[in-house]
Amino acid sequence: MEQRIIHACGHEQGHYLTGFDSQQERKVKWLKTTSCRDCFVAEKRAEEAAAAALSNAAISHLDLPPLTGTDRQVSWASTIRTKRLAVLINSNSGVDCYACLQVTDAKWWIDRRDLTDVDLMAAAAQASEVQSATAVTASITDMHRTA
């Protein structure tokens, strides 16, 4: 049977409760202390927006290179990059973030989104080494070509 519950936010919402009476009673008590579904979603969204705004502010002084990839990859990766860089900058006072700033491959950010900060920085350092190694090889090839 559906029960109408008045939530802590003041909105009424229907809930289908199952289980023994005592379990249902406990559930009702708990539900009354929570926000309704709409308010919960709105609160979550607001929290995320506030966190994103904080992250954006933390990295606003950085001159970030544009990411490369498909539109979907780029938009997802830029959210990840903003969040991760903001944390790195706040915790590390800018130490060693440099390598992370250089990675513009959207897929790289997406694939490594679950790495710890330390692992992420190590991966970035590796990626930038590979990049500069490729650059060195390229310039050596160029030298040979011009010689």
- Cβ proximity to Zn ion, 35 vs 55, nearer residue: 35
Answer yes or no: are the C-beta atoms of 4 and 11 closer than 8 Å. no
Name the nearest CA neighbour of 35 among 47, 43, 25: 43
Binding of Zn ion by 31 (CB under 5 A): no
Instruction: Quote the least distance from Cβ 53 to Zn ion, whole Å.
Output: 23
Packing angle of the helix pair 37-58, 71-92 (nearest 10 deg): 70
Per CB under 5 A, the list member of 36, 74, 100, 121 interacting with Zn ion is 36
Output helix, strand, coil percentages for the chain, rounded to the nearest 5. 65, 10, 25
Instruction: Quote the least distance from Cβ 10 to Zn ion, whole Å.
Output: 6
Binding of Zn ion by 39 (CB under 5 A): yes
Binding residues among 48-67 for Zn ion as defined by CB under 5 A: none
CA–CA separation, 68 vs 83, rounded Å?
Answer: 18
Binding of Zn ion by 11 (CB under 5 A): yes
CA–CA separation, 56 vs 62, rounded Å?
Answer: 10
- Cβ proximity to Zn ion, 9 vs 125, nearer residue: 9
Instruction: Quote the least distance from Cβ 16 to Zn ion, whole Å.
Output: 18
Name the nearest CA neighbour of 38 among 7, 60, 62: 7
- Cβ proximity to Zn ion, 9 vs 127, nearer residue: 9
Binding of Zn ion by 15 (CB under 5 A): no
- Cβ proximity to Zn ion, 36 vs 124, nearer residue: 36
CA–CA separation, 117 vs 104, rounded Å?
Answer: 18
Binding site for Zn ion (CB under 5 A): 9, 11, 36, 39
